[in-house]
Structures are given as C-alpha cells and as structure tokens.
Structure 1
C-alpha cells in the first residue's frame, strides 16, 4: 500500500477549501463609511499583532494537537505578525541565488527533507462583533511562506501554498459567539519551494497581514473595472464585470447593483449613478453582471499624472436597502503596443526608467513595514524612476495602492522561478500545471483593478514550455487590456515583448535596427521573430557594489529607437540584513553570515540604495540619466539654450528654473525663471539672462541650471530638484603669468647615504633612496606625509572586477593578468635615481623603475621649487591592461578635511560621472567614503582641478593638476590593504593616518553584465599605450589668501 503524500510535497495539491481569488476588497455598510472612514470598515478586523508561537526544526517534532481549544500554550513565546520567524530568533535566514537550499533538492523533486523542514505553530484568539451575526465571515492571509494549514476552534478549515498570493477561507460555519481560537501551522519548505527559487533570502512565516471581514449573504465577491478610449484618447468607455454571490440556500430576487464614479473632491461625475441593473440570484450561485458607460473626457492616469477616481459599487435589495458598498480607486488609461513596437500609454510612446525591487527590510526581511514601502516609492519618484518590476512575485497589495497614487508603472510578476531546475520544471508538465496556473491567476485576479499595473509577467528564469502558453491564455481570459511579458520565451511565441537580461547598449542598438540578435551565446533571434514587439530589458545595469558604468549609453539607445522601450535596473535595494558584533558595531550581513550553507555570498547586494534606504553613488547617476528635462546649448555667448521637455504628459509649468554662473566653482551671478511654458515632448529656446563676466586668467566658467518643484508634491517638498544640467561656457581664457623662479628662496640639498634632503626657507623634504619616494614633507614644523608617496596601480577589487570569481574561485586562474597588478608596484625595482640642481631655487630628482607589467620603465620626475612646490610627473607604458595609474601616500589623520574643485559631491568614476557636478565641494574624509556592503574601491572624485587636504586650522596642502588631464583623488580613513581584505564594513579599522590616492585614472567599473566585468573599451587603460600625468603639491595656510587663487596659479617653467 502506497503511503499518501503530505500536502506540502504533493505538487498536485495547491490548496484545500480556499476561496476563489478576487480583487482586494472590503465591504462597507454605506457610501459615507467609504468616503469618511476609508479602510476602517466595521466589517473588517485586523488580526495583526502578537500571536502565540512555537517552532521546531522538523515536522515530526511539531505539537500535533496544538490547534485544539484545550491545548496549553501558556509557556509558548509570542511573535509579531506579520514577520519572518528567522528574524525573530527561530532558525536562520538562508541566501541563495540559483541553487536550492539543502532541504529542496532538484534531484528529489518534489520531495522535501523531513529532517530539516522547520514548522511554526501559531495561535491567535479573537471575538466576533455582534453586528457580524448572520453574515458570511472570511479570513484572509495576504502572504504565508511556504505552506500552511488553518484551524478555527479545533476544526480544520483548509490548506494553502503559493506564498506570494493571498489565501482566503470562509470560516462562517466554524465561528462561535464569544472567544474564537485561530491556529495556523506553517511549513518552511514545500513542493511550492521548487517554484520559488528567486535570487533572495529564503524566509518563512506569516509575513503579510491577516484579517477578517464579514459580508452580507448577498455579496459582491469580485469586480473588474477597465476602460477603452476613442482614437483621440479623449473620451472613454468604462466597463465593469461584477461577480455577485448568493450564500443562502434560497433564491434572492431583485437585487440591484449601482455604480458611481467620484472625482478627487468626492463629487460624482455626470449622473449620481453611472449605471444600474436589477437581477435575481439562485441559491449558492454566482452571477456575473456586465456594465458599461461612456465617460466624456475624464482625467487620465499616467505615471506623470496619477489621477484617481473613486469607483463605488452599491448593492441593494428590492426595497432599496443597501446591502453593501465596495470601492476601488480607478484610473482611466489605455495600454497598447504600436506598429513599430512602441509601448503606448494613452497613445504616447513611453520609456520605462525602471528598477527591479525585491520586498526587503534590513530588520523585518520580507515583512516590509508600511513606512518602508512609502519610503521606497518616494525615493523612486525623487530620483526619476517611473517603473518597477515586482521581481519576482506579486508584492504586498498596499504597494500597488501607493503606485496608483504616486504614479509608478508596474510590471507585475508571477511567483514562478525554478532557476536551479528550469530545464526540468515546470515546462509543459501536467503535474505542475495547476500550480503555475493558480499562481498566475491569483496575481491577475488580485491586481487587475490597479491602473499602475501595465504589464503582466509570467515569471522569471523558469524555462519555457506549454504551461507558459496556458498561463497566457488564462490571463487573457481575465484581462485583455494589458500585454504579457516573459524573458524566457527565446522563440518569441508567447511573450508580447522581446525581453532580455543584461544586453549591452551595443546589442540594444542592433535591436533598434532590427538586426539578428545573439542572446546568452546560444539563442539566435531573427528580426522577423521580434519585429513589432517592444524591446525591453527586464534586467540591466547590474548594480552590485561599485557599479553602473556607462549607464548613459543605455538611455541614448532608448531615446534613439522607438521599439527600445527601456528597462529595469537590477536592482533597487541591497538585500543586506542588519547584524551586530559583540561590541555593538552594526554591519550589513549577506549570504553565509548566519552559517547558512549553501549560500551565494554577497550576490544579494545589488541595490542603488543601501538596506536602510540611504543612497549609494549609483543612485545619483540613476537620477541624472533618468531625468526628463534636457538642456542643449545654442549660443552660450548670448545665453541661448534649448530646453527639451521629455515628459510625455505634463508641461513644465510645475518647475522653476534656477540658474547660476560660476567662476572656478564660485558663484558670480544667479537668477530664477519662474515660468516655463514648454508642452510635453516639446523644446523651447530660452535666453538665460546672465552678463558676460570679466574673464580672468586660469579660470573656467560654468552655467548651472536647476529645475525644481514650485510647490510641495506627494513625494517631495517644494524646491526639490527634479533635473539639472551644467554647461561649460566657451570663453577664451587668457593665459596667466608664471611665478618667477628667481624670486623664490634658494634650496639646499643634502645627499645622504639613504636619502636626499631638500631644505627650503620654511620647509624640509626628505626623499628616500630605497623607496625612491618622498618620505617626509615638513612645513613650518607640520608634517604632511606619514608614509611615502609611491606608485599605485591596484584597487581593492570591485564586484565587477571579480565577476564570476566571486563564486567560482577557480576562475581566478584565468584572471592572472588582473591580479598581477596587485603587487606590481611593491615589486618595482629602482634602476636609477638622478638628482640635479637646475637652478639655485630648483631641484629635480629623476627616478626610473622597472615594473613587472611594464613595457617601458616607470619614469617619475620630482621637481622641488624654492616656494615649497613639488611637481610630480609620471609616465608609463604597460604591457597589460592596467587597473589604475596613480600614486598613494598616507598623511596624518588631522588632515581629515578635503576641499576640491571637480566633480562631486558623491563618488564618481571614469564611466559613471554624468551625475557629478563641477564645483567646489568639501567634506570630512569619513563622510567622503562610501561603505559598500562588501568593502571595495570607493570614494573616488573625478575631474579634479585641485584639492586641499586641511586640518581644523585650515592648514594643509593643495594637490593640483599640472598636465591638463585632470585628476582622480580619493581619501580613506583606512589603508588599501584594509579595504582589500575586508568582507564587511565592521572589519575596516580606523587608522591613525589617512590614505590619499592621486591618480591619473582607474579603469571603468562596468556593470552591463552579472558575471563579467563588462568594462567598455573606451574606459580601459590599455596595454602598449603611453600614459602620462602630473600634479603639484603646495603648502597652504589660510592667511595666504583665497584657496582658489592659490590653487590655480600656473606651473613654473624652467
């Protein structure tokens, strides 16, 4: 006799006694309660809060009778619902990307390891209000992972799996007057886990809300509101499909359904009731009522104009007594795909400036609090993000309400990913069919009324097969108003989009030109297969660590080709968890930090914001590249510019233009233009009313234009900058005079056995012969250098530098060229040191060194002048592509303030500096670094003309560019070795010195790909090419005068 399988490892069982899916709804007694009380219906009861809780490691140890009313749970702990029990001290979080956790093995599908399948037993008591008598009572779980049973008052009610969809049960017959006992038994793993192999932390528990609601015996069980528009996208037809159920054993005659549409002021548009219909209901049956009504020129919903009406559905009996009122927010908008593959919203082609977003909180895991959800959407809006992909599962219902309200386009994605076994399941297998269809249908039914949802997605990285075609067909049975997406449809037979992951800008360009595309090395996709489909990147610009290089290149392609409709950055939030060391130091934990095995390390750290929602440098780049206003120069001498409004639906009357002209970063003139009458998609020539300044030698002039909100918005305060552009003014700059060498003090040179000393009037420089470097710079008894200024051709590897080697150490064998730079400068051999006194006031030290990776010797020339200036010039030809070409020293920690003229204020890199504003910036070293979750190269400031390192007395030294190449400078409160060896930020010590890097450049950071470096050719330091740069070190004291004037004085000539 075959033993019957457990429900939680039987893929043909997806639920028992569950109610059919429907849109999120709550019954109200009348219209007034909807409009005045909103979500606090008297027929709604929130069950969130503290529940009794018991946890065991395996099912055989669970308390089998815990659901019985006489079971003693007095010694049980309490747990907050919603929550993930791993973050409340029960078991451990597990992070894996593709590979399944140890209890879920792809060679045992669909079985689960009985020795490690933790079970959480929950109990909650509640009382039903008296006015719920004679009503149907339902319990609703918004999300439980992975599978669970439910009991009421000791009686089994049902079972559910499919953790990201709601589970609802009719508990009317189980309820009694007075106190009731709810019990739930939750399993960490189930056969459904094989379909939930997303790149995320594996949590479990009741992680979304739980509530009761009570309905009349005649109840609006579900409704779908949608619309169509005329050819001018002016007038609309509102369609309603309403399901009304009779829960009684007798026929109910002459029900009436009325609908009303209210504007934002609460006033009905047109007639009080748009439509009504009378009908009869058979016992225990459901009727479907279809209604439609023409609406003249309603306000339209878009992400830019998120206008929401309130749609009321009023159910009455034959005596016109209200039985119940349901409502939803409704937005008029039409989604279409254009003839050339455009994605059209209300007839206009849009670009998705999107992000992928996992539901994640550093303290609560997948049980994201409401304030975090609001914060996420506000951050998106503030940074010009207009779209989100719910990677890779339906989100909390509240998220969609907020997207409707704030204006975010949503690609709503089915909870289906079998990445680690996608060649095996679900494919076209019948035994998985009901499960995958249930997941898709559940999402569509729940979210169908949200105007923000503009695309349905069948899932992610789950292979392909007949089941995907069936999911699409099932979706279209419910909703034909939205297109359907699936990246895994390589044959282009199911998806309405041609979707890929991590294609490069060059590959996207080919798509725009309708050329043959090679995808993932093996898939060849011909133009005829995707012509007429929107070309979309469901994942791109992989933001792991210091990343997001060449991001502007993508936007250039999106704007160039109509069928290239944008994409979704991977991803929005670093999925780090807050952890604390024994001494109380907090850091962000990732895979393996909880003893979880197997794990995929820090591959969950891909966000443009940190786990606590603080920005990364990448976020600033996102905001700049995604901005919807662009300024083009016309005739800058006359102040003429062209302003392009790239919004699709709104004029620029909601922003003001504030401009300022700067000279070497210092403001000379400013002004404000309060009104910009520029229609959506239009351009306007405008004169910025500045006066040409008196042009000074050695200066540069910029025009900055900020576009900021005139008033407060839902997502940002007044004066929030939505876009900016900065243009360099093309003035002819006179050449300045050189400082006269003959007026400087004479220098004394002491040539010792191990070092050379150069003495000036108020400074002393020591040059080490063994180090071939400046080891000391003493200025008026203040030492500037703690450790020698030496060549540095290495950087603490970024995640993109390491690529696949992060997870497959053997790959490092093929990265020998990269790692050979790590110790290249430490292995340098000094070939020659030549000292010459060129003049009484000038000493030159010339050093030639052999570097292991050098095609030519490294030549470094130090020129010391009588005024204390030190010029350092480097030239080198590598025989391998370089990582960095620069110099490094350590300076006393009191010089902990850096002021610079260049790009800032945040970190910028060679291929990620569009968002860097040229100006004078300042900050303390501790604030100028960026703590990536996994420590790596950070803190770089690009295009630096000069930088001042100073102490609290404003004494210090200036480093300035002398070669015209502009510098890259960074300063850290730790050493490069510290940075290179640390796995977490808490492992970075604070040293007694500051590490200062003065570079020509580092190579780019890339970011196109997940496992490859992806640095574009134009951002590489290429082999066999000679590189040269130079900089000056100059002492500075506040009494010397304006730092800018001191810093820009022209180099001396000999």
Structure 2
C-alpha cells in the first residue's frame, strides 16, 4: 500500500500545474470570435447596443470573495454548492483585488514581480482569489444555449457552475468564454471562479504598468439559438481608384443541437448611418446544405457596393451590417449586427496608406488606467480619453501593450481614431538574448500564437484598427515569425508591426522606440520599401516633451517617416489617502511594494484624473493639421496649407488678428476656406494696414475654429493656431535720467543704504545681495537677487545623471564668495554697486552690477567668466530673489499662458497674460522644476492694493514665479517626494534668467536636452531692470522706457 501510494504521488508530482504549463492555455473554452450578441429584432440590431439586448445578462456587481497568499491555503471546496460563503467579504466585479486592500499594487517596469524561473511560479507567495456569485436564467432563454463570457481575468482561473468544473483559461486581456448550458438548472445557479495572481502566462505579461490581479473586465451571460452564427467577418476591398468597394462577409454557423440543420440561410442587409436599407432589400444571401450536430458551416458572400462613404479617423463613416439566420422554411432563427466601415490599408512605395492616402501617425500609447479602479476603465472614461485626443489633434492610439476592452474599439470606430492593436505579449524581464527569449523556446510557441489569434479573431471587424502589433519588448524569435506568418495569412488586409523585429521581414513597418532625430532622418534619406513609425518616442515623464517640433520637422520633410506614438497618454498614479484624509496620487513604493520603479509610471500627457498638463498643449500645436507660412508679412500675404488627409477646410473658420501691446488693432475672418486635403492657397488679408506706434511689438495671430459642432468637439473649438512677429519697429527715444530725483547713500562695513524719493534700498555687503527694498512703505524684495545656475532636477535630469554631473553648479551658487563690493555715486541720481563673486566650485568669477536710479529703477547686469577648470553644462544662468507673498497678482509679456521652455514653446504664443503666482505651479506628481516662461519682455507682481515690482528684460528673459523654492521642489533621487508633500512658502520665489536649459524628452534614462537647447559651459552675460510700481502704473508703458547709461 505504501508503494502504491508513493507511486501515485510521484505521477501527480510529475504533472505540472495547469498554471505552470505554457502548453496548457485553456480547457473547454469556446473558439475566439468577433464581439457579438444576438438581438430580438431589427430595431435592436440597428442600434447594436450589446448590453441592451434581451439575450444579454450582466453579472457585474458584488461577488463573495476570499483571498489567500498562496495556493496551498486556498479553500479547496468553495465551488461546492453546499459550501458556506456567507461570512466571506464582498468585492466589486469588475475590479482588481489590490484596489480593495487584498495584497498591494506593485509597480515595476522591467523585472518580474515573482522569482524568475519559467514556466514555474513560486509557491510560497502566489495569491489566489476565490469568487462566488449567484444568478438566475430568464424563462425566455429556455431551450437556448447559454454562454458565460469573461472579458478579462488576470492571470489564470478555473470555473465551476453549480459545483461542476467547467474549464480553465489564461491570457488576461482577451476573452474567456464557456458554454455553460448543460451545467444550468432552474432557479438559482452558483458560479465559482478561482483566480491565480500569477501563472506561466504571467511570463508573457511583464508590461510596464501596475501589476494588478482579479476579474477586472465585464462578466456576462448571453444566449443563442441552438443553431447560431458563432462568428462573422466583414471585409471591404476598395477598387484601384478607392471609390467602389467589394464587400465580403463570412459567417460561421455552429449547430449546438442534436439534430441536423438542413439548408440554413444567412441573409445580409446593409444600412447607412440613418438606418436606411441599402437598395431597399436584402443585400446578399447564401445557404449551406446541412450542418450536422457539433459541427460548423462556413458561409461566404460577396457583393459590389457603389461608392460607399469611406471610413477614416477624420470621417468615421459607419454602416450597420445585419445578419439574419433563417431555417429552411424561412423562419428567423437569429439576428446579429455590427457597425463597420469601408476602409482599406496598404503599404505601397514605402508608405502606409489609408484609402490610398499616405497618412501620418499623430499618436500616443495608452494604458488602460483609472486612478481609483486600477485596470478597470469605464465607458465614460474611454469617451473622455477619446474626446481629449480628438480635441488635441491625436489621431492614433497604440493599445500598449495588450488588446483593450472591446468597448474601446467600438468607440474608436464611432468617433474616429486609428488603432495599432497590440498582442498581450511582453517578456521584458527575460531580456533579449536569443538563447533566453521565450519566443525561441518551442514549448512557448503556442502560447504566443494563441494570444495573437485571440486578438485578431476578436477585433477583426473594426475599421479603426489599421495595424496589428505582435507585442512589446519580448525579444525576437521563431514564435514571432510564426505569429507574423499567421496574421499575414489570416488577415492580409492589415500590416504587421513589431519593434523587436527591427528590419527583419516579419514586420511590415520599421517601428523603433526612442530613436533620435538624426537616426530616423538617416533612414529616410535612403530608398525604402517600408515606412518608419516610432512605436514609442517623446518620453513624457514629468516635465518633458522637449524638441517635439524638431521630430515633426523631420517627419513632415521625409516621405518614409510617418509619425509615431508618444509615451504615453496618462500618468499611472493611484489614489492614496493621508492619515488626515487628504488624497494624493501614489506611485511605485507608496504601497509597500518593494522592489519598485518609483515614479517611472508617471509619463502621461494627462494626469491620472485626465487633468491637462502643459505638455499636451505642445502636442496639440505640433500635431495640428493646418500650417501657415509667411509669404509677405508686411503686406498680409500668407500661405495656408491643409495638412489633413481627407478633410477640406470648408467647415472651419480661420480667424486672424494683428495685436500691438497685445491689444487688437486689426482682425478678420476667413470663412469656409476651400482648401482641399494636402493642398495650399495663398491669401491676402483684407484691410491689412497697420499704423505702428513707438516701442510697440506687433504680432499676426491665427486661430482656426470649428464652424459647427462635431462628434465630441463643440462648435468654436480651436483646432490650430499660429503666430508671426511682424517686421515693424519704431524705436523709442531713450529717457534721460537727469530729471530723476536725487539719491543719498550711507554705508558701513556691513551694509550700504541708498535712499531716494519714496524708496529705501539696503545692500548686504557680506552676501553681496539686496537685503531690503522698500517703496512707499511696501517691501518689494525680501532677499536677492542671488546668482543662480541650478534648477530642481526634472525626471529627465535624473535620468541622464544631471543632478550628479552638474552638481558643481548648485554648489557654485551656494558657496559663492564675495571677493569685492564697490559702491560708487555716479551722479546725483545714480549710484552703482559692483559685486565681484568667486565661485570656487567651478573655478569661475561672477560679477553683478546694480545701477540704482533716482526713479527707483535698478538696472542689474550679470556676467559669468569661466576659469580653466573643466565644467559641465549649466541648468540655468540667472538670478533668483524672494518677493513678499502678498505679490500674488502676476502679469507678464512673453510666451504663455502654459508653462514653456527653450525646447517646448511652440504652443505658447507671445502675449500679455494675467494670472496669479499660485496658478503658475504645475502639479507634477513627483515635484520638479516647473512653471517657466520664455521670451519674457517684462513681468509685474502686485499686492491687492496694486503696489509691487516689475522686471523688464534688456533682452528676452526666462522667468518663473512660484510659492516654492528650488530646494522645495528638489529631491535627492527621482521618485522620493510627492506633490502633497509641498507646503507653500510665505514668499514668492522669482527666477529671472538669461535662459534655462531645455527639458529634453528623447528618453528619461540617459538622453540629455539637445545641444542647441543647452547652456554649454562658456561665458554668459545679460541685463534686466527692476522697477517699483503702484496702482496707477501701466507696466506696458514703463517697459518702454530706455535709459542712457554709460
């Protein structure tokens, strides 16, 4: 007996767990098919609202739930009907169990969360969630087949109905569907699901996102007749002129009954967007002789459609296809439908084309993310994403890095976005060595193919999908070659994309990630038979997306460059709550997850709640479809280029204005401009005559708005902007200082006090800075100006090691030594203070001169002279000071209104902007440099009474004003501080700079800002003027004063 027992144990031990066997992918699941639901009548079918069908029943809601840390502790018999779960917790389905406190969310980029030993999963910690719920079946479903459908379960699960085992599935982001008809009974039915956090499938799901688990997408039942259209495929093939179309429909009809089904017929009808029946009759029909029980018949039909409306992201014209299944006597057995579009994708002459037109991919990568529910996203959230994308000129989404919820595709079909549909395959934690990658291991081949097949079969009818992607960062190997071959055979109507394939033949598109501009230009300068589309670029981590315009200057210049997808759409922050009840967004490490990749999940153009960041405005401008070129600015002659691919500009309004001192002096509209796609027209602005005034800068601004309401886009929405500085200048006569009031000075070893009419100024000789500046009883400066060469490191700075490489510049400012200070009365109404600093940390000298005038103006000149010591680039060259907190009201003349930088300012037009200091702060979840403005002519800061101070650049300045110091915004290393950690200071931290190095954005792990946007080590100098103001002063007038100073 002992020997027999030992033998049985040994046999069992040799058989791997299903969830540790890459060749055990599913058990008793249905074949993959397109997203479908039967309807009761034609009206329901035309609406195609799946969730409203009487043959649909949602099981979403509260389920009983038990969670254990390892499989050995799971409740073994919980699936039995008599098992008591009344004392179990309840959990929301859909949902990730970590979001309800079961285990913790873990954020990692590359590594696996578990010990790496494919296909094995550690036994000591692999949580198991046991789910129970109950449901009843409607009486009118009697005699029908009933299917249980899970849209997404992570990672692997077993299913029982009424105590009987139904099956098993893994593959988290494509459906698992079971025919449960034979397991059902009248009245209450019990569903039990046992979900494993990790399985061998997890080795193919090592994506850069929060690692979450559970039943996180919709769960529902649907019923069908015994003879059922199990799947159907819609294909459209446009003729050589892309006018007429061949419509092909393939229906797969399965007989679930016990008898032969003789001569079933499938009828196909076509309806337009107004539900008008094409041709007023059935479009086509076909029969098959017989379908035996448990077999399938494939019915194929084809017809010609005369000049249908075409589908594109710009014009998402949809038709409704209705399929009727009839028995031999003409009785209707079933009716199904789908919204689809006539659209053709091809690659010819090295270019990706939609409906014969070469397009540009103005894209983003998008993870499914909700800051409160994790990977479960609602329809409302999807629509919000699409609305923002449409309004910010984004036309393409890569579903990084897995197939999305089925509703996403229906919405993209409806509203118009191109999709790169990506397979749920990423094995980043394995690495890319050919001998290690799973794609080169025969036992993993089917696991790769299964994920690709399930994606393609589910999503094949969506016109929004123009490219299939095999996955992401999983190395390359024979399995991917097989996947590419399978897709090309199964669906030759779309190209295949896979980044790790490089230029191998199993990718139709060269799709690198984070290639530099010079690299893609090199590719495009040679003759190619494949386009280059950056699958990821412009890494948008924190304060980033610099030099985006430079990328697109190259993309629009070269035919073989066709755009790319920014990484990525949304900051993946999750809500956390402080002990005192304040909410904030957490990132890696905030939930006790260790190891973690900190804030590397915060790369979005939008915040977790879809709040906008300044980065997305730059994207909107760079991605815009209308271009303006100056032909003759003096005469108002402009070339307008329509960069849309299908849209004429007739349904837009082009508004123009000429502003001087940011006041409108001329304006006009160009209504219904008839400019065809990819065409241009030179226009003459009417009544274009400017009478210039001295000292006034003039700009010609364009704003293009929608003339009518469009889907998700309101009437009057701005789609494009442009600005030109006009070549008009009348020089202002310089102001003599002779009539300024007299100044007096007193000084000792510690300070120098300069007194003028209505003001008093104290220089601290020890620090070489102004310690007090009082005007009409109001303190203007609390400290400074102080030489400054540093900024709070951005995420990109941390990525390229700036905080260490350039630390000598931070020390240079803090460790400056006053070498000499000289105070000299130049005239009765002018006193100069000259301060010489030594900067020992950079072996350099820095001189600051102050010319104090009787008007209260202070002309500040800053000069840096490098020594012989080798130093690195400067983060900024400027001066910082502190103003009273009461100087909250802010007005400036420069680029705005959004935060902008040397390499990210295309979207920020020059103007006069009024705001507050508090509103200058940009709430990056992990604090860093923010709030900067470039090309600033002047800036004014006032209290409630209108008293304050302004700064006027003797040249264009870079400026920021915040209630936080550089030190407040700084971190010792990336991802160790949160926005909520900041406490507003009781001062205004004002930075007045010659320039600040750009923010960069090629990547966040080594790339530096481009040289042309970098303050390289050399001598620098610049000047600005400080001026007290009161309630009656107009900064525009004061800024025009030019002084005669020696």
Q: 2:929 aligns with which of 937, 945, 952?
A: 937
After TM superposition, give the deviation of residue 740 of structure 1 in Å.
2.4
Q: 1:499 aligns with which of 511, 515, 520?
A: 511
Say whether 1:995 aligns with 2:992.
Answer: no
Say whether 1:181 aligns with 2:187.
Answer: no
Say whether 1:210 aligns with 2:204.
Answer: no
Question: Match for residue 727 of structure 1?
Answer: 724
CA distance in 2, matches of 1:255, 1:938: 67
CA distance in 2, matches of 1:558, 1:1037: 50
Question: Match for residue 808 of structure 1?
Answer: none
* Bigger mean CA offset, 453-462 vs 650-659: 650-659
Question: Match for residue 808 of structure 2?
Answer: 820
TM alignment of 1:39-50, pairs within 5 A: 39=50, 40-50=52-62
Question: Match for residue 342 of structure 1?
Answer: 351
Question: Match for residue 21 of structure 1?
Answer: 32
CA distance in 2, matches of 1:928, 1:475: 50
Deviations 1:807-854 (A, max 9, x none): xxxxx8xx6431222221111111111111111000111111111355
Question: Match for residue 635 of structure 2?
Answer: 638
Contact 1:1005 1:1013 in 2 (8 A): no
Q: 1:890 aligns with which of 869, 882, 901?
A: 882
Q: 1:959 aligns with which of 934, 951, 960?
A: 951
CA distance in 2, matches of 1:413, 1:30: 35
TM alignment of 1:529-678, pairs within 5 A: 531-678=528-675
After TM superposition, give the deviation of residue 421 of structure 1 in Å.
0.3
Q: 1:12 aligns with which of 1, 23, 37?
A: 23
Say whether 1:908 aligns with 2:887.
Answer: no
Partner secondary structure for residue 125 of structure 1: strand
Deviations 1:586-610 (A, max 9, x none): 2211111111011111111111111
Compute the RMSD of aligned alpha carbons: 1.3
Say whether 1:88 aligns with 2:113.
Answer: no
CA distance in 1, matches of 2:33, 2:531: 30
Partner secondary structure for residue 109 of structure 1: coil
Say whether 1:146 aligns with 2:133.
Answer: no
Question: Match for residue 517 of structure 1?
Answer: none
Question: Match for residue 761 of structure 1?
Answer: 757
After TM superposition, give the deviation of residue 463 of structure 1 in Å.
0.8
Contact 2:737 2:1043 in 1 (8 A): no
Deviations 1:587-635 (A, max 9, x none): 2111111110111111111111111111111101000000000111111
CA distance in 1, matches of 2:231, 2:54: 20
After TM superposition, give the deviation of residue 693 of structure 1 in Å.
2.9
Partner secondary structure for residue 969 of structure 2: helix
Question: Match for residue 846 of structure 1?
Answer: 834
Question: Match for residue 111 of structure 2?
Answer: 99
TM alignment of 1:323-472, pairs within 5 A: 323-339=333-349, 341-422=350-431, 423=433, 424-472=436-484
CA distance in 2, matches of 1:804, 1:548: 15
Say whether 1:289 aligns with 2:308.
Answer: no
Q: 1:300 aligns with which of 297, 300, 310?
A: 310
CA distance in 1, matches of 2:849, 2:687: 44
CA distance in 1, matches of 2:554, 2:924: 30
Partner secondary structure for residue 927 of structure 1: helix
CA distance in 2, matches of 1:244, 1:952: 76
Partner secondary structure for residue 912 of structure 1: coil
Q: 2:854 aligns with which of 859, 866, 870?
A: 866
CA distance in 2, matches of 1:337, 1:36: 34
Contact 1:343 1:350 in 2 (8 A): yes
Question: Match for residue 775 of structure 1?
Answer: 771
CA distance in 1, matches of 2:100, 2:184: 31
Contact 1:709 1:717 in 2 (8 A): yes
TM alignment of 1:165-204, pairs within 5 A: 165-204=174-213
Contact 1:934 1:985 in 2 (8 A): yes
Question: Match for residue 5 of structure 2?
Answer: none
Question: Match for residue 980 of structure 1?
Answer: 970
TM alignment of 1:996-1015, pairs within 5 A: 996-1015=990-1009
How many positions carry a matched residue from both structures? 1022
TM-score, normalised to structure 1, is 0.96
After TM superposition, give the deviation of residue 29 of structure 1 in Å.
2.2
After TM superposition, give the deviation of residue 249 of structure 1 in Å.
2.0
Question: Match for residue 485 of structure 1?
Answer: 497
* Bigger mean CA offset, 581-590 vs 368-377: 581-590
After TM superposition, give the deviation of residue 238 of structure 1 in Å.
0.6
TM alignment of 1:665-814, pairs within 5 A: 665-731=662-728, 733-803=729-799
CA distance in 2, matches of 1:534, 1:702: 38
Contact 1:662 1:669 in 2 (8 A): yes
Contact 1:654 1:710 in 2 (8 A): yes
Structure 2 stretches of 5 or more lacking a match?
1-9
Say whether 1:1036 aligns with 2:1045.
Answer: no
Say whether 1:158 aligns with 2:167.
Answer: yes
Deviations 1:742-800 (A, max 9, x none): 11100001112201111001000111101101111100110012222211111110111
Contact 2:46 2:322 in 1 (8 A): no
After TM superposition, give the deviation of residue 672 of structure 1 in Å.
2.1
TM-score, normalised to structure 2, is 0.96
Contact 1:666 1:919 in 2 (8 A): no
After TM superposition, give the deviation of residue 925 of structure 1 in Å.
1.4
After TM superposition, give the deviation of residue 804 of structure 1 in Å.
5.7
Partner secondary structure for residue 381 of structure 1: helix
Partner secondary structure for residue 501 of structure 2: coil
